[in-house]
Structure 1
Amino acid sequence: MGTESVPVVDRLPFRDPALPTRKRIDDLLARLTPDERLAMLHQYSPAVPRLGLGAFRTGTEALHGVAWLGPATVFPQAVGLGATWDEELVRRVAEATSIELRAFHHHRPPPVGTGATSLQAWAPVLNLLRDPRWGRNEEGYSEDPVHTARLGTAFCRGLAGEHHRFLRTAPVLKHFLAYNNENDRCVTSSGLRPRVLQEYDLAAFRPVVASGAVTGAMAAYNLVNGRPCHVTPLIETELRRWTDQELFVVSDAEAPSNLVDPEHYFEDHAESHAAALRAGIDSFTDHGQDSATPVGRLREALDRGLIDQSDVDRAVRRQLKIRFRLGEFDPELDPYATIGPEVVDCPEHRALALRAATESVVLLRNNGLLPLRSRRIALIGPLADAVCEDWYSGTLPYEVSVADGLGVAVVDGSDRVALRSRTSGELLGKTAFDVHDWGDGVLTLRSAETGRYLSLHDTSLAADQELIKSWEVRETFRLVPAGDSVLLQNVLTGRYAVVDPVTGRVGVTAETADAAEHWERELLRDGTAEALAAAASADVAVVVLGNHPLIHGRETEDREGIALPSSQDALLRAVAGVREDTVLVVMSSYPYAVDWADEHLPAVVWTSHGGQETGTALAAVLLGEADPGGRLPQTWYRGGDALPHPLDYDVIKAGWTYQYHRAAPLYPFGHGLSYAEFAFRDLVLSSGTLTPNSAVDVSVTLANTGTRAGSEVVQLYVRALNARYEAPLVRLADFRKVALAPGEVRVLHFRVATGQLAHWDVATGAFTTDPGDYELLVARSAQDVVLTAPLTVAGPAPVPRDGADRRLLAVDFDDHDGATITDATRASGDAITPAGAAATLCFRTVDLCGAVSVDVEVACATSDPGGRVEFWSGSAPLAEIPVPATGDRYSWTTVTAALPAPLEGVHDLRVVLHGDVRLAAFTFTTAG
């Protein structure tokens, strides 16, 4: 065929695969009109037929399998993948997910008008599991940044593929940054002092981005230090600085609109969208498929001069780069274009789902009861015959429950009741219901005849839902006692059921209990009594308890505590009272305080919601057909251990995670038992001394000394001794999962570099490894240390902080009391303000020699007679500076005060803020 018959558009330079991608993007961008470029900033980028461009949509959820597109292989929740501690396994899970996503992209039609299924995969989630009460705990890998980064990198490599030019899918990291609470998430601020920012939250993202396996990131809903993440300068100053690859940064859903309402951070949407674009947001996920509204706001921003064409073009270039790498413009060269529909839930992926589910099971306690040797098992509990989907699960192609895996009957422990209206005399739903209590009085009611959930439809009720999986959960209720009757209240709306006295129809419309219908509750089956009878007639009881992923702890809702639901706890204790050999299986998205079970039961097991093969995996572990290969990815705290406030993101001062929590946990980070027996020996270091920018080679011998095969996770921790800063108790430096046959011995090799011992030095604004004494620890968990070796870092001693004629940022404190970190301006900078009446900042070993005065950079929106900043050296006052009203929280002024006498030497400085004062920085000046 001659070239004259080839469509003109196919001969344009951007269609030429021989040209460098940069030149192809330049050519295509130049051919797009300004309006076409602007339209590409929305999540739903429209087609441009005249250039042969198809529609493009950002984002397909792919956290533990392809989600929301129909049946696809469902792997364990991310926290379960974290429990595997197996990078290669996690990479293979992501690879399978990306292969299936390719199949959906090529062969499964998406919803009308949305364009092809996006090959931009919104995964993995790198947010650290700081607080086990986080509603989205299931989405993260770990409370530790090293562990999270390693698994996150593996997942990204699996999604992206190995081709040098083309991506299988384009991984997008979620959610940047410091996002670990759901309640009021769009208006709460995560306060990050520099050490926490650099050593903890950024540390989970930095290695993943630096690996080159990442193509983008999603900004988080929350604020950091008073500034919304969608306008944080950290996108440019940190995230994009870690790589020479372009990152395509997307917004979270509706977050651009949130900048005005509910956050009220900007006056209008044109201003807010312009700020987000300038801060580095390249794609606006807002208003669903309605692109007119967000694009209109951006057009207004252009017209007002808040952004210019180069800002738009920069974002469009980043999108086009991804599209080229995904093979959109070179289908004949794309190595992944031939993936067929048969890969979805194929036998290989089913086997991988089973392996992942098995490797994620954690044996928390075992006095010898496991593995089970008896087949007379009483299987009890609300999750014994259930496989749950979470919000980001794919649709289960099939499901294997624990009952299916063990091949035994189930007693779920639920009461069966009939609810009869006192007005009409009719049964609610004309059926009996099995009542499951999920804690705090929140119930689900399932028809005894059909097994379907009672659900709210507008104001009517019907027992017609096979699955609880919707953004607004309409299947939860309360049975509120009212004398000798009960009231039926829907949890979502808070309204009560009423019965029309004429028609007998039930509507959920009553705003108050006084107007509600009274129902007679008739107990048809005592679930606990049935469970006790089953336990008494068996050799062993297996009680499966935990959470439903969409009830109590989910996106938009944090848990209030970590205790098991009281009804579940009561069921467990009752069963254990009649059957001493009772195994507790916790199936959950997060940790529980199971102190009683640990003290009284012979065995405790945990699994996340493990996907389609949950029951097969658990049965294999319980029966000893597989070794429990999982280890905890986060600390399980004790029930009596008061946890810090959910919004206290200062892991150092609050005492979060194994690094800083000083009370003994119930089960530590990294904990997990095996049926095999392992011995550690011969910890050898190539040198006992490190110098700056050097490394030490570490070897340790692991032996399987038992009679059966198993796996161990060798965990290498570091610890600073006699540190001048508040150092972690221990900190994970490396890990390796090793499977050994009986009698097998293996020597494992690690390398520990000086930087792995570093902390963020607020005095220098950089990572620093202090000279001094350290320890390397080989451990089975953060608290089960088996071998230690001393290590010395050589080098000059740290010098005092230079504080004379040098601007010191208020946020660079060594310690604080009552301080809140907030934004200095809408665009950049941090400031300190009191959380209450006063705040104290501590700056240790500051050299103030020759200082005669101090300048403070302050703001105070309104006149505050008590507003002042005080400086102290130990107990000696240095200066007291009244702060004038500046008219606005972002209007800054500098106030100077003379010191009583010139200062000499090094001081431990205290800065005390009183009143509605904001302090950005201060400078001690000398006479010169």
Structure 2
Amino acid sequence: MKNKILSLILVLISLGAGYAQKGRMPFQDKSLRINERVEDLLPRMSLEEKVAQMRIFHANIGVGANEKGELELSDRVIEKLKLGIAGIKNPGEHISPLAAAKLNNELQKYIIKSNRWGIPALFVTESYNGVDAEGCTKFGRPITSAASFNPELVNRIWDVVGREARLRGMHMCHSPEADIVRDPRFGRMSEAFGEDTYLTTQMVINAIKGVQGNYEGLGNGTHIGAVAKHFAGYGQVLGGSNFAAVEISPRTLIDEIYPPFEAAVKEARTLGIMASHGDLNGIATHGNEELLTGVLRDQWGFDGYVVSDSNDIARLFYFMKVAESPQAAALMGLVAGIDVDLYAEDSYAYLPEMVKKDPSIEKMIDRSVRRVLRTKMILGLFDNPYIDIKEVEKEVRSTASLELAQQADLESIILLKNENNLLPLKRENQKIALLGPLVYQGTQAAFESVAGENVSFVADKGFELTDGDKGAPSLLPTDEKTIKKLVDVANESDMTILFLGGDEFTAKEAYFNNAVGDRATIEPVGAQDELVKRVKALGKPLIVVLKHRRTLAINTIAEQADAILDGWDLSEFGDSSAAKIIFGEVSPSGKSPVTIPRSIGQLPFHYSMKEINNKKGYLFLEDGPLFPFGYGLSYGNFEYSELQLSGMTMTPSTEITVSVQVTNTGKMKAKEVVQLYLKDEIGSVTRPDKELKGFEKIELDPGQSKSVTFTITPEMLKFTGPKMEKIWEAGDYTVMIGTSSKEGVSAQFRLEK
């Protein structure tokens, strides 16, 4: 045995001597396995260098370019980079992709040369409308693309995001959001994929696989790593108020909130996870070891890194008030399993002095640093840390990417109403007024380009909704003269298209420092409803195009308008896309990714709530939603028939296939989202009214039929039982296949054990 150990030592000494002769060390050898390289580098590092690999700072503290485009760093940044750094958020975000690529190459070169071991940094971005940086392709928001019910399309969108981000020198993305959002008061609603667990899961899987290049794009330098967020329950804040407490049952957490995150880890192989601002059952998430280690790592096998949300480890002390001191907060975050501290100067910065008092802490530091170094090696940054400048202008905002942005719009726009088949409009001699606060500078030109010479347009924004204050915007007062002017323009036209909803200030993230973004009401703000009623009174056709970032209770609009297109927050081609739908170049095929309520008083209100929630309505309010989840009209007309099951019983080890015939009885080629819902008729715990378990988007010519088949698996029927364990339960189930969560054909089968 002693001889074997001696032989191994001699081999290691020999290898070390070999690397020394070449001027290299084992961690620099890309032929070695990543874990071997990490284990070689880690013990070489000082404690302070390790802690530096656990911190990210924002570029706005002093990373920029001078008039010649050369890198300029503040003294504060220079000091931070002496020991290396885990990463920097948003370097070069306000300059062109080419300028950013050059700047980030210089920045990375500086970082590598400035620390002893030449450890590169992660440059981190976010993605809500494509890459959140100057000069990249602007896509619709995640909730917009969720309305497409087309996961493959979402995969292609995020593939472009990954490529464009990498080409400007980025490596990680604090996106996508795997949160379930069900409260339209919440200002960040549009950043996620909607209210449904299954739809969100499919979108998150495809977003991560897209942005990471199906994982293969990480090491070859074409894509960036994803950081799924906010784990877990962030979208469930009380009152829809950012930073508020989260009150959610353990069963709902497991069955409805966890699945998108679990799929992000197990199926999509996300490189990172961001912890949630909030708490679960009174335990602050950033100090929740059971969640961040027990569930995430021990149960799901996550091996990437966990990053804090902005300053949230420090906030365990001064905001959440669950830690006695900043140092106690740092230890709480470290024990829980948070590897990287985002922005804070009063949290992990204290770790070196804390280790002097308690050396056992260093083992947990080593654990986190391993994960960060491993991520950098997966991304190939130790071997190829720079961007090929020649490729930037070829790929960023390519023709194919811009076309994809509009295709995504066309598949995501939802036709909510089409009274007397007003749409699509004919390109005949008529004058159309384009009016309202969501008319943009290029709206008229976009409609003119689509409609052609026979149709004339007049456009007038009329009024703004808010004063545009980025922190705490105020609503602007109604100006009767402006309303009258818009009505006069409408009166002089043959028909009117009103552009209504909300601007970027009426739904946004609420920050500390008195920046608000959540709302206490969900009706359209300002004079929008009044404008609708006044224009409708003219007796001319009225079309409404909605643009918004939160669900709105559009009762007046739904009653008064002849046709309604819901676009949520579209791409840079949004107005052109709306025009193409309105003039019939494409049939709308979007479906609502949320339930649209009549009143804020109905909240919480989503289609998959427990059946007992639907027993009673409210005084003086019509029952049910204004528009249900999964709803969206078409210029085609789809009939569902011949629902067939392969059997009437199944067991936990068998499956049932179910098929339905879908026929387009309309006069236009169109796409339809065929939706599969399951309902557990009797359960040992109260069960959801129904749950989406599958969907398929199909395209049919007029008169064409297609048989659509789904497989019902035992996994679809599992739920968390009375003893908080996942179970199957014998009993009757209803399967419904249809055009929305409210309309379809159904049958029953039985699960037998």
**Matches of residues 494-893 of structure 1 in structure 2 within 5 Å?**
526-555=481-510, 556-639=516-599, 642-644=601-603, 652=610, 655=613, 663-763=623-723, 765-785=724-744, 787-795=745-753
Higher strand proportion: 1
Q: Partners of 1:477 and 1:782 in 2: how far apart?
A: 35
Amino acid across the alignment from 2:309:
D
Secondary structure, counterpart of 1:350 in structure 2:
helix
Do the aligned partners of 2:595 and 2:627 also contact (CA within 8 Å) in 1?
yes
Greater mean deviation of Cα atoms: 120-129 or 696-705: 696-705
- 1:141–1:619 Cα change, 3 Å: same
Q: Partners of 1:23 and 1:12 in 2: how far apart?
A: 12
- 1:295–1:204 Cα change, 3 Å: closer
Q: Partners of 1:306 and 1:651 in 2: how far apart?
A: 50
CA offsets 1:44-83 (integer angstroms, 9 cap, x no match) = 453464655244146311233111x322111001110111
Greater mean deviation of Cα atoms: 362-371 or 340-349: 340-349
Task: Measure how far apart 1:276 and its partner are.
Answer: 0.6
- 1:85–1:668 Cα change, 3 Å: same
CA offsets 1:740-789 (integer angstroms, 9 cap, x no match) = 233333322221112212221132x211221111111001111112x212
Q: Partners of 2:218 and 2:534 in 1: how far apart?
A: 58
Q: Partners of 2:445 and 2:569 in 1: how far apart?
A: 12
Question: Does 1:61 pair with 2:126?
Answer: yes
- 1:39–1:284 Cα change, 3 Å: same
Question: Does 1:38 pair with 2:51?
Answer: yes
Secondary structure, counterpart of 1:379 in structure 2:
strand
Do the aligned partners of 1:89 and 1:356 also contact (CA within 8 Å) in 2?
yes
Secondary structure, counterpart of 1:676 in structure 2:
coil
Do the aligned partners of 1:65 and 1:72 also contact (CA within 8 Å) in 2?
yes
Task: Measure how far apart 1:476 and its partner are.
Answer: 4.3
Q: Partners of 2:354 and 2:117 in 1: how far apart?
A: 29
Aligned counterpart for 1:252 among listed residues 309, 314, 325 = 309
**Matches of residues 85-100 of structure 1 in structure 2 within 5 Å?**
85-100=149-164
User: Who is 2:333 aligned against?
Assistant: 276
User: Who is 2:280 aligned against?
Assistant: 224
CA offsets 1:170-211 (integer angstroms, 9 cap, x no match) = 001011111124879675321222211111111232222220
Secondary structure, counterpart of 2:557 in structure 1:
helix
Do the aligned partners of 1:189 and 1:222 also contact (CA within 8 Å) in 2?
yes
Do the aligned partners of 1:152 and 1:208 also contact (CA within 8 Å) in 2?
yes
CA offsets 1:601-624 (integer angstroms, 9 cap, x no match) = 321110112121111100000111
Aligned counterpart for 1:205 among listed residues 245, 252, 261 = 261
User: Who is 1:194 aligned against?
Assistant: 250
- 1:23–1:6 Cα change, 3 Å: closer
Do the aligned partners of 2:317 and 2:324 also contact (CA within 8 Å) in 1?
yes
Task: Measure how far apart 1:337 and its partner are.
Answer: 9.5
**Matches of residues 360-379 of structure 1 in structure 2 within 5 Å?**
360-367=412-419, 368-373=421-426, 374=428, 375-379=430-434
Greater mean deviation of Cα atoms: 776-785 or 41-50: 41-50
- 1:645–1:789 Cα change, 3 Å: closer
- 1:43–1:83 Cα change, 3 Å: same
- 1:386–1:558 Cα change, 3 Å: farther
Q: Partners of 2:22 and 2:393 in 1: how far apart?
A: 30
Do the aligned partners of 2:434 and 2:457 also contact (CA within 8 Å) in 1?
yes
User: Who is 2:38 aligned against?
Assistant: 25
Secondary structure, counterpart of 1:776 in structure 2:
strand
Q: Partners of 1:599 and 1:476 in 2: how far apart?
A: 28
- 1:738–1:479 Cα change, 3 Å: closer
User: Who is 2:212 aligned against?
Assistant: 160
User: Who is 1:82 aligned against?
Assistant: 146
Task: Measure how far apart 1:477 and its partner are.
Answer: 6.4
CA offsets 1:646-705 (integer angstroms, 9 cap, x no match) = 9x9x9659959xxxx994101000000111122222322222111124322222222323
Amino acid across the alignment from 2:374:
K
Task: Measure how far apart 1:331 and its partner are.
Answer: 2.2
Q: Partners of 1:317 and 1:403 in 2: how far apart?
A: 57
Task: Measure how far apart 1:39 and its partner are.
Answer: 1.3
Normalising by structure 1, report the TM-score: 0.67
Do the aligned partners of 1:72 and 1:345 also contact (CA within 8 Å) in 2?
yes
Amino acid across the alignment from 1:26:
E
Task: Measure how far apart 1:405 and its partner are.
Answer: 5.8
Amino acid across the alignment from 2:148:
T
Greater mean deviation of Cα atoms: 576-585 or 630-639: 576-585
How many corresponding residue pairs? 663
Amino acid across the alignment from 1:97:
V
- 1:366–1:185 Cα change, 3 Å: closer
Question: Does 1:385 pair with 2:344?
Answer: no
- 1:564–1:164 Cα change, 3 Å: closer
Greater mean deviation of Cα atoms: 147-156 or 119-128: 119-128
Do the aligned partners of 1:186 and 1:258 also contact (CA within 8 Å) in 2?
no
Q: Partners of 1:630 and 1:360 in 2: how far apart?
A: 4
Secondary structure, counterpart of 2:317 in structure 1:
coil
Do the aligned partners of 1:689 and 1:793 also contact (CA within 8 Å) in 2?
yes
Task: Measure how far apart 1:559 and its partner are.
Answer: 1.5
- 1:645–1:726 Cα change, 3 Å: closer
Higher helix proportion: 2
Task: Measure how far apart 1:11 and its partner are.
Answer: 2.6
- 1:531–1:185 Cα change, 3 Å: closer
Normalising by structure 2, report the TM-score: 0.82
| Sequence identity (%) | 25
Q: Aligned-residue CA RMSD in angstroms?
A: 3.1
Q: Partners of 1:225 and 1:400 in 2: how far apart?
A: 53
Q: Partners of 2:694 and 2:249 in 1: how far apart?
A: 25
Task: Measure how far apart 1:307 and its partner are.
Answer: 5.4
Task: Measure how far apart 1:101 and its partner are.
Answer: 0.5
Amino acid across the alignment from 1:256:
I
Q: Partners of 1:51 and 1:297 in 2: how far apart?
A: 22
Secondary structure, counterpart of 2:736 in structure 1:
strand
Secondary structure, counterpart of 2:738 in structure 1:
strand
Task: Measure how far apart 1:41 and its partner are.
Answer: 0.8
Which one has a bigger Cα radius of gyration? Answer: 1
Greater mean deviation of Cα atoms: 774-783 or 159-168: 159-168
User: Who is 1:422 aligned against?
Assistant: none
User: Who is 1:122 aligned against?
Assistant: 174
Do the aligned partners of 1:216 and 1:250 also contact (CA within 8 Å) in 2?
yes
Q: Partners of 2:526 and 2:469 in 1: how far apart?
A: 24
- 1:325–1:792 Cα change, 3 Å: same
For structure 1, list consecutive stretches of 5 or more residues without a partner in the other structure.
106-117, 389-398, 415-434, 445-467, 481-522, 796-928
Secondary structure, counterpart of 2:586 in structure 1:
coil
User: Who is 1:331 aligned against?
Assistant: 384
